[in-house]
Every structure is written in structure tokens, then in C-alpha cells.
Structure 1
Amino acid sequence: MDDLTYTLRQLCQRNRDGSHATQADRQRGLTLVARQLREAGFRQMRAPSLKGKHVEALVERRQAEGLSVGTLKNRLAHLRWWAEKIGKAGIIPSDNTQLGIPERRYVTNENKARELGDALDKVNDPYVRMSLTLQAAFGLRREEAIKFQPRYADRGDHIALKGSWTRGGRERTVLITTPEQRAVLDQTHQLAGAGSLIPAHKTFGNPPISNTRQK
């Protein structure tokens, strides 16, 4: 383990902010940061070494990777946490647009929620109802919502989608920004448990062939 990964892990262990899921996600995110900085040529770093040039290198790489605005913001949140804990919060602009990251719009999701309206009352299957509710609350695609596994996806302040659920096979995240979204997630936990929103007697995209919940 290199010095940066080790000292970032120590920083996380000394500062246990947020839920267990949030802490675990933060440590994973910072481990990724350490690897990407090493790949960018910054090999003699420790946690207190963070500078503006490191932030710029990470943001440029992530934008080049075509990550969603939500994912960029989540990963930037990890960097801000790191900078704050070492007393260097000022090296990262508070305005994401200064880093070339546009503001995310949630109008589409709100419109979807309104359009869904009373239509849910006509849906009898609880799994279908829940997947439609997830689509409206988080702007998910149909396949993402059906394959959604709340135990895996719920990371406290955002949801994480596996590549096997998404179009193009690319993992992505969506921030949890409203109490309504949290309420929907809690309902999903109650219904799906450790499984997904594929009904127990079905598999995604196929006729009923199994009595085992897909995971």
C-alpha cells in the first residue's frame, strides 16, 4: 500500500463522519483518488500533500471519462472532505462551475413524478409499482429500476448503480437530495430486502422461469 492510500485510510478512520455506508463509500472513493493520482504521476504524496494541481488533474481526468454530473459531484465531495480535514478547504472552489462542472437539473425527475400521478393506483403488482416510483424519483431507466437492489445501491447520500443495470454497462451514481427520495428508498428496502425489484417468479426480459428472486 502506498503512502497516500495509507494516510487517507488513517484520515478516514480518525474522522468517521456520516453513516457506515457513507464512510465506506468515502474510503472507497479516496482509495480510487489515490490510485488515479499515482497514475497521473504524483507518486510522493501523503494525505497532507493535497494541492490545487492535484484537484485539477482529477477533475480533468473524470471529465474526460465522460462521467455524469452526479458522479462528478459525488467524487468532488470526497475531495472536499479530504481538503477540509487537512485544513486546506480553500484549495477547492465552492462553486462547481469554476471547475467546469455544470449545475445538475432535477426538473426532469420532478416532471416524471407529476406525470406518474394517480397512474400507480392502476398497477397491481407491488414490484412494478415500486420500480415505476423509483424511475420517477431518481430519473432511472426502466431496466435500472427493475434490477435495482437497495441493499447494494443505497450509499446514504446517493445511490450507486451497477454497470450490469445500466445502458452501456457503465456504473453511475445519483444524489439523494430530497426527503421524498429517501422515503422511496426506504420503501424499496422493505419490499425487496436483499433482492431486486424483479418479481420472484420472473427474470428480466424473459417469461417466468424461476421461483428464486434475482440478485
Structure 2
Amino acid sequence: MDKLGWDFVQQQKHNRDGSYATQAARSATLSLSARQLRELGYRNLRANTLGQRHLRALVQHWQTSGVSPATIKNRMSHLRWSCEKAGRAGVAKISNDDLGIARRSYVAKESRARDLPKANLDAVTDPYVRLSLRLQAEFGLRREESIKFIAAVADKGGHLELKGSWTKGGKAREIPIRTRNQEELLAEVHVFTQMRSLIPAELSYKQQLKRYEHQIAAAGLSRMHGLRHLYAQRRYLELTGKQAPAVKASITGQLLAGAESGWLGKVAIPSAETSITPPLSDREARLLISHELGHERIAITNTYLGSPNA
């Protein structure tokens, strides 16, 4: 390990920001970056001497290697984190545009929502995984959030408070408790887990994650991030009284097959469980949904809902 790699390791040792997944991705990116900078001829670098020209060299190398713009942006976020920890805030401020990274399209042209069919859920034999999946469906939680979830900590009566240590990027957030189904699910989780998370006492998070992946595959489930899409689309329908543009596009374009209620083909069509009067505007609804999903930018909702201009 060279000096830059050692600096990166020390930064992470003393700054455990973000969720387990974020820390793992950061570690992989920084280790790769240190090695590739050395291979590109940059010797004796330290974290506090890393400059914008080094970031440009990495970006150009990744682009030449065929790495996608989305992956490059994720890697740059980890490198900016390192620069800030090393007191190189000026270096960290370089934009993706200045680095020549292509802009990413966040607009969904059709719905990618997925439901949680009872037959598949019943095929999940691990009760911890089954409850995690139901939390994903009812509250739009990410996978890691649903596994680390502690009802005794999060349940505040009228809303959930997710701890930063459970969430992507370490950003705590609140999610409203709106329906009887949500209340009944939380009651089940309270009774089942008492004061613990949805990780068995004898397992680590990493071990339970592997069990989760094995269980959903065995039950014929996949792309469970689609549950988060369905949550966002259901909330949009409740808040505006209208189906999201991505849902409309899927229906109008005849991209779905069958007519079973709530489950058309492999893309779920949301139904409203609550409503508000008067309904919110598109922008107002997207702002609320963005916060509930744990995003800072309203534009990210285009991924879940489609373009507001559609």
C-alpha cells in the first residue's frame, strides 16, 4: 500500500460517515483510485496533495475504460468526501461538468414499480426477511434501511424517524404513518423484534443481507427496489389525485398485460389508500415525496414518477 492508499484508510478509520453500503462503496473507490493513480504515474501522492488534475486523470482513465457516467459520478462523490476530510475543499468543489462527465438522465419513460405478491411473500421462509420486504413495500424503505430498522426507535406514533446510520449517505429522515396497513405492520414488527432490529441476534448485517438476497431469489422475487417506485407512485396519486406520468405512459403505451387488480404484468399500478383535499400541485407532491424517499433534489423524483412535462 502506498502513502495515498494509507491516507485513505486512515480517513475512513476515523470518519465512519454513512451507511454500511456507503462505507463499503467508498472504501472500494478510494482503494481503486490510489492504485490507478500510481499506475498512471502519479507517485508519492498524499491525501492533502491530491489536486483537480489528479481527479481529471482518473475521470479520463475511467471514460477510456468504458465506465458509465453514473458510476463515475458515484466514484467522484467518494473522492470529494476524501478531499473535504483532507482540508481540500477547493479541490472538492470541481463540478462534474468541469470534469467532462456526461449528465445523467433521471427521467423514467415508463413505470418500474413492483408489487409484493402474496404467493411470493409466503414463499419467503425467513420471518426477518419477510418483515423487511413488507416495510419496503409500505414505507418505501431502501433494502438496508428495512434490515436495520428498529421499530422501538423509529416509531414515533404519527411518523417514522429513520436514523442516519441506517440510511444512504447518513441522512436521517421522517416518513408519515398514514394507513391502517402501516400501523398493523409496525405492531407486528414491535412484537416480533422487541427492542432489536430485523437482524437476528446471531448474525451481522452483512450475513443477514446475504440471507435476504438468497431468500428473495428462492421466492422468485427480483428488483425489489421497484417497491420503492410503487410507494412513490402511490404517494403521488394520494397527494395529487392523478397517476404519475410514468404510470400513464406504461398504461397508454400498452406496455402492461393482463387485468388483475393491482398487478398488471410485472409492473404494478398504484391505488390510493388515502387522499387529501385540496390536492397538491405536481411540484408540491414531488417535494414531499423526495423528502420521504431520502433525496435532497426534487429532480430525482423523475426516476420514480416520470417527467412533469410528459
Cα displacement (A) at 1:33: 0.6
Contact 2:52–2:94 (Cα < 8 Å) also in 1: no
Distance 1:156 1:40 in 2: 35
Mapping of 1:116-131 within 5 angstroms? 120=115, 124-126=119-121
Given the alignment of the two structures, is residue 67 of structure 1 paired with residue 67 of structure 2, yes or no?
A: yes
Q: CA 1:86–1:194 in structure 2 vs 1: closer, same or farther (change >3 Å)?
A: same
Structure 1 letter corresponding to 2:83: A
Note if contact 1:93-1:99 (Cα within 8 Å) is conserved in structure 2. Answer: no
SS in 2 for 1:198: helix
| 1:56 Cα deviation after fit | 0.8
Aligned to 2:17: 17
How far the C-alpha of 1:200 sits from its partner, in A, is: 5.1
Counterpart of 1:195 (choices 209, 214, 226) is: 214
Classify 1:197/1:68 alpha carbon distance in 2 versus 1 (closer, same or farther; 3 Å).
farther
Normalising by structure 2, we get a TM-score of: 0.40
Contact kept? 1:55, 1:92, Cα under 8 Å: no
Structure 1 residue 35 displacement after superposition: 0.3
Task: Provide Cα deviations, 1:10-48, integer angstroms capped at 9, x if missing partner.
Answer: 111122211233223212210111000000001211221
Q: Structure 1 residues 121, 56: closer, same or farther in 2, change over 3 A?
A: closer
Question: What is the distance in 2 between the residues matched to 1:31 and 1:156?
Answer: 23
| Structure 1 residues 29-83: Cα deviation after superposition (integer angstroms, max 9, x where no partner) | 1011100000000121122120121111001011111112221111000110111
Query: Per-residue deviation at 1:108?
Result: 2.2
By relative contact order (CA 8 Å, sep 6+), the higher-ranking structure is 2
User: Rg bigger for which structure?
Assistant: 2
Q: 1:121 to 1:80 in 2, by over 3 A?
A: closer
Query: Are 2:9 and 1:26 equivalent residues in the alignment?
Result: no
Partner deviation per Cα, 1:175-210 (whole Å, 9 max, x = no partner): xxxx99xxxxx9xx89x7141643358xxxxxxxxx
Cα 1:23/1:122, change in 2 over 3 Å: closer
8 Å CA contact 2:37–2:58 kept in 1: the answer is: yes
Give the 5 Å matches for 1:177-188.
none
Task: Using the TM superposition, give the Cα deviation of residue 157 of structure 1 relative to its aligned residue in structure 2, in angstroms.
Answer: 3.7
Aligned residues: 150
Q: Which one-letter code corresponds to 2:74 in the other structure?
A: N
Q: 1:49 maps to which residue?
A: 49
TM-score (norm 1): 0.56
SS at match of 1:96: coil
Gaps of 5+ in 2: 124-132, 141-145, 148-165, 176-197, 199-207, 221-310
Q: How far apart in 2 are the matches of 1:34 and 1:123?
A: 47
User: What runs of 5+ residues in structure 1 fail to find an aligned partner?
Assistant: 138-149, 159-178, 181-185, 202-215
CA distance in 2, matches of 1:90, 1:6: 22
Aligned CA RMSD, in angstroms, stands at 3.9
Please state whether the residue corresponding to 1:107 is helix, strand or coil: coil
Distance 1:27 1:156 in 2: 17
Going from structure 1 to structure 2, the CA distance change for 1:57 and 1:123 (only over 3 Å counts) comes to same
Task: Please tell me whether the aligned partners of residues 7 and 47 of structure 1 are also in contact (alpha carbons under 8 angstroms).
Answer: yes
AA aligned opposite 2:36: Q
Percent identity (aligned): 38
CA contact (8 A) 2:70 2:104 kept: yes
Alignment of 1:1-215 (within 5 A): 1-108=1-108, 111-113=110-112, 120=115, 124-126=119-121, 157=168, 193-195=212-214, 197-199=216-218
Q: Which residue of 1 aligns with 2:152?
A: none
8 Å contact kept, 1:3–1:46:
yes
Residues 36 and 58 in structure 2, CA contact (< 8 A), matched pair in contact too = yes
Distance of 2:117 and 2:22 partners within structure 1: 37
